[in-house]
């Protein structure tokens, strides 16, 4: 350390400590001080010189702190820090971008979904504002936020089409627009084209494969083709809860393969134990056999803890709590059970 400089920055406590401790012995202390000409007038104070002598140390003249560090770097083989600083700065920027996007999607997806009226609009405006400030216009997630924030289907469609004009090969945007065409405005021929385009852009994406399977069975009634796409979707992601649950529903409702359906429902709720629809569907299947009624009721109660106002869960719980579950003697499902809505069976990409 530089005697003159450090002494002016509160080195008194260090000086007092060194003065009161026993001598350190040979080479006990190295005290650097700034020197430009090596003259005696640049030596540190008498107090410092006495201290260094006490500890059998050395007074070391240096050109300055930065110069000393540069010499140490050469001596110990320390690489130039510019690369490390660039890497660190890049990592910091990436962390900031990630945190910013998480906030944007939280505004647009989680918070806005629970809000109503003016508060919902404010959250959407905040999400769009920060997305634009974060230069997200070249990302599909920005256009998805614009679409879900739109007040009516016409404006939603405009947002999707504008986004696709800029990102024509974006599989998430293609797939989400297909869901809009399918479930909101019911333009099924156009929807099918965009489902296929999404799969063409991302052939192994489980979300798009599963959505198209749902479309084929729900809308086109092409059950054989639908089953092929369900299998492709589960091969692409064996733990995708929505696809597992939807395929289970298909096997139960369309194929009447109850044992296979039960296994897939089980896998679905294991993959996502917080999804009420699949909990209820699994419960309804189990309740076909009176011996399974306690397990079925346990699943329905779990669904109600997650979503207390879920109509399907309430109806099913009421049926199961009756003295005998309705319509179970002949193997039929309880009366409260009903086919899931198309919109509930589709899964959008959210960017998260």
Which residues, 6 or more positions from 193, have their beta carbon under 8 angstroms from its beta carbon? 178
DSSP characters over 247-273: HHHHIIIII--HHHHHHHHHHHHHH-T
Give every CB contact of residue 68 below 8 A, 6+ residues apart in sequence: 32, 62
Q: For the chain, what is the total number of helices (H) and then of strands (E)? A: 19, 2
Residues 6+ apart with CB under 8 A from 336: 284, 312, 315, 316, 318, 319, 326
Write out the chain's pLDDT in tens, 352 residues. 433 333 333 456 788 888 888 888 887 788 888 888 777 778 888 888 988 898 888 998 988 888 888 888 888 888 777 888 898 999 999 999 889 888 898 888 889 988 999 999 999 999 999 999 988 889 999 999 999 999 999 999 999 999 999 999 999 999 999 999 999 999 999 999 999 999 999 999 999 999 999 999 999 999 999 999 999 999 999 999 999 999 999 999 999 999 999 999 999 999 999 999 999 999 999 999 999 999 999 999 999 999 999 999 999 999 998 855 444 434 455 444 444 555 566 777 776 5
Question: Given this model, what pLDDT does residue 27 score?
Answer: 75
Q: Would you say 316 and 300 are in contact if contact means Cβ atoms under 8 Å apart? A: yes
| pLDDT recorded at residue 346 | 75
Domain boundaries, given as residue ranges, for the chain: 3-76
pLDDT at residue 294 in the model: 93
Q: Are 343 and 244 within 8 A, CB to CB?
A: no
Cβ atoms of 271 and 240 closer than 8 Å: yes
Give me the residue label for tokens 């096997």. 251
Burial level of 254, CB count in 10 A (0-12/13-18/19+)?
middle
- Residue 344 is predicted with a pLDDT of 65
* pLDDT of res. 349: 72
Q: Is the pTM of this model over 0.85?
A: no
How many CB atoms sit inside 10 A of residue 241's CB?
Answer: 19
């Amino acid at each position: 350390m530089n005697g003159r400089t450090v002494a002016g920055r509160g080195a008194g406590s260090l000086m007092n400590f060194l003065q009161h401790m026993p001598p350190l012995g040979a080479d006990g202390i190295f005290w650097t001080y700034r020197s430009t000409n090596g003259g005696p007038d640049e030596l540190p104070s008498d107090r410092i010189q006495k201290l260094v002598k006490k500890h059998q140390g050395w007074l070391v003249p240096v050109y300055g702190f930065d110069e000393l560090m540069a010499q140490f770097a050469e001596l110990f083989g320390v690489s130039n820090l510019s690369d490390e600083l660039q890497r660190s700065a890049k990592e910091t920027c990436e962390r900031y971008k990630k945190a910013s996007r998480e906030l944007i999607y939280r505004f647009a997806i989680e918070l806005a979904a629970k809000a109503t009226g003016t508060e919902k609009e404010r959250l959407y405006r905040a999400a769009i504002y920060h997305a634009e400030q974060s230069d997200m216009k070249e990302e599909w997630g920005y256009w998805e936020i614009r679409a879900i924030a739109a007040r009516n289907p016409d404006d939603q469609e405009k947002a999707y089409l504008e986004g696709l004009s800029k990102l024509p090969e974006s599989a998430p945007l293609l797939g989400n627009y297909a869901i809009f065409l399918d479930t909101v405005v019911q333009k099924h021929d156009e929807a099918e084209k965009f489902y296929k385009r999404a799969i063409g852009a991302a052939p192994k994406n489980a979300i798009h494969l599963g959505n198209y399977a749902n479309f084929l069975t729900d809308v086109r009634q092409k059950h054989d083709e639908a089953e092929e796409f369900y299998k492709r979707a589960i091969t692409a992601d064996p733990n995708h809860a929505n696809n597992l649950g939807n395929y289970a529903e298909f096997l139960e409702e369309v194929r009447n393969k109850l044992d296979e359906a039960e296994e897939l429902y089980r896998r679905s709720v294991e993959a996502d134990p917080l999804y009420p629809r699949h909990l209820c569907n699994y419960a309804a299947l189990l309740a076909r056999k009176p011996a399974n009624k306690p397990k079925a009721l346990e699943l329905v109660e779990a669904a109600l803890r997650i979503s207390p106002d879920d109509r399907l869960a309430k109806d099913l719980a009421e049926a199961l709590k009756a003295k005998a579950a309705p319509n179970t003697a002949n193997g039929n499902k309880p009366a409260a059970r009903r086919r899931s809505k198309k919109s509930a069976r589709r899964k959008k990409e959210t960017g998260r």
